[in-house]
Amino acid sequence: MTALTLSTAGAATLRADAVVVGIAKGTGPKAGPVVAPGAEAVDKAFGGKLAGVLETLGASGAEGEVTKLPSPSGLKAPVVLAVGLGTAPGKDEAFAAEVLRSAAGAAARALTGTKKAAFALPVEAAEDVAAIAEGALLGAYTFTAYQDGKGAKAPLAEIALIGAKPRDKAHKAAAERAITLAEEMNRARDLVNTPPNDLYPESFAAVATAAAKEHGVKVQVLDEKALTKGGYGGILGVGTGSANGPRLVRIAYTHPQAAKSLAYVGKGITYDSGGISLKPAGHNETMKCDMAGAAAVFAAVVSAARLGLKVNVTGWLALAENMPSGTATRPGDVLRMYSGKTVEVLNTDAEGRLVLADALAKASEENPDAIVDVATLTGAMMMALGSRTFGVMANDDAFRTAVHETAEEAGEPSWPMPLPADLRKGMDSPTADIANMGERMGGGLVAGLFLKEFVGEGITWAHLDIAGPAYNEGAPFGYTPKGGTGSAVRTLVRLAERTADGELG
């Protein structure tokens, strides 16, 4: 992974292949771009005319805009890369963390194939160090495991963060946290991007087991035999059609001084064909990403362990492959779930809620202070919120608000969604306790209501439907690559931090 250092050197004197500076949109009707704090030495090398040169080249300072130009004499780096920061903040105001994070990511992406870059973006506090470091490390991500290396460029190899203070405890801690978070988010991205012929329930469980042992986290894997003995009808019902058997992985981090415990539950459908309710062509090509929720939970638990958070965090990875075959679950079949409830399966392509239901019921037995499940659950949520925002539902309004605020603080767009009681009736079944489908309208909310049925009584619970932002099918933007994004990892980690600090519950 890309290396990160905090440097006391000046932007003009540090030896690097490129120096990154920020420019903002000036205010006023005739205002052009303005050079952002941190770039003073670079501007001086241009004779104080860097903003004018950039404007001549068409730069405006808009967010995410990237402009490269050769360096004048006086700079050690041969290339200057100016990245837009949007409208310049007012007096006594600073650039928002997400603006810096996104700008650093855009710059790092533009420097793919470069060995070393100096980032001279605005740094006033440890929060700025964290944002720039996160953005740059996440933006430098590439997935080239299946390419021969001849055509693929290597990611930016080294980042020197100028303006940060390596001996300042807060700055150093911010950088170390950013490195941990980026490494685990990129691990989640790798998992999402791995083809399903190589990532299936057993191999995913093996990855989790190896990482758990490396970081001193306890892990337990239930295979088909154990799942059958335990009565996990939902997970088994989804996985029964595949040659690759299902797994339920429990990965647990504990801290001796923890006062609170969290349970994270992740949907891990390593490939979703839809089962007997087969997806049509055009809807199944990216379904390797249907395990993004489990990847996020896995990454969050390992992050909590590496950061030494004073909170107990248990992750449940509900892993299965949803395939059609002579042994697959059929529409009309009834499954007896781990909780004892029976579910009539009306659509085998509504499989995520079935594996999550078993995992939620099992997680509830440990009576955590809160449960959060994460899943690429419904296309309906994408229709409602688009491809960059995930929905937040909960059985407690205050907790839903807290999760939403935590996500926004972490830099992940989210939106609180309701769980209307009137939609529950649509899942009534004449044969079983509940059906796995209800009304078509409000399908994302119906799925949330289904999951709520399997949460233990009195346990606070939230559901994150990350169907939109988990996998980017469009062009890269900011620090977000094409493909797996690592959605929800930062939210889960920040939620664990807030819980450890006594801010929640």
Catalytic annotation, residues: 279, 353
Side-chain half-sphere of 117: how many Cα atoms within 13 Å?
Answer: 32
Q: List, in order, residues 6 or more apart from 458 with CB less than 8 Å away.
A: none
Q: Which of 495, 402, 394, 481 is nearest to 445 (CA)?
A: 394
Alpha carbon 373 to its chain centroid, in Å, reads 13
Question: In the 8-state DSSP scheme, what is residue 153?
Answer: P
Cα–Cα dist 495/344, whole Å = 35
Nearest CA among 375, 246, 222 for reference residue 319: 246
In angstroms, the CA 383 to CA 225 distance is: 39
Secondary structure class of 256 (helix, strand, coil):
coil
Give the bridge partners for 119, in sequence order. Answer: 20, 161
- Triad 139, 183, 246: Cα angle to 5°: 115
- Give the C-alpha distances (Å, rounded to integers) separating 259 from 26, 362, 475, 491: 49, 21, 43, 20
Measured distance CA(306)–CA(298) in Å, rounded: 12
The DSSP letter of residue 387 is S
φ, ψ (nearest 5 deg) of residue 219: -140, 145
